[in-house]
Amino acid sequence: MKSIFKISGIMVLFLFSGCLQGMENAPDFTLKDVDGNSFSLHDFKGKIVILDFMATWCTPCEKQMEELVSLSKEIGNDTVIISIDIDLSENIQQIKSFMEKYNATWIFARDTAEEKVAAKYNVVAIPKIVVIGKDGKILYSHSGVTEKEKLLSIIKG
């Protein structure tokens, strides 16, 4: 009987955590892109931001990259993609090579031990996509590959 209550409690927590999307403010952060330019999440207030947590050695991240490349051709200037490499051991040249491999033209950065962006967004598996609305609230968060069509439906509301 106790285990039924525990399982029920866990299920309620999972259901409630899904309800927080759209209500939770996205944690701000400041990073440098692969060209050394500093940027913060708040620089993009008023735009939809897609955060892509990834690593260059991650096979599912390559599939996510293909989805994002396709998506990038269909979105307007009111949507920004930011890929954040969470592997602190990877160097900038590895990230640039990954970008070139996919002809990706959006912002790429590497997480830092000081900023810990992945921890702020509870990244436990990659790829992880987080979509932030124009108001700075988290609209969507998912670990695993998110298809372009799903992202388009979120962006278009």
DSSP calls for 46-60:
TSEEEEEEE-TT-HH
Token look-up 């996510």 returns 64
Prior bond to 60 cis, omega within 30? Answer: no
Q: What is the pLDDT of residue 157?
A: 82
Among candidate residues 61, 65, 118, 139, the one labeled active-site is 61
> For the purposes of burial, counting CB atoms within 10 Å of the CB of 51, is it exposed (0-12), middle (13-18) or buried (19 or more)?
buried
Q: Are 154 and 49 in contact (CB under 8 A)?
A: no
Q: Which CATH architecture has domain 22-156?
A: 3-Layer(aba) Sandwich (3.40)
Respond yes or no: is residue 58 known to be catalytic. yes
Respond yes or no: is residue 61 known to be catalytic. yes
Average pLDDT over residues 111-131: 97
What is the reported pTM?
Answer: 0.85
Average pLDDT over residues 80-95: 97
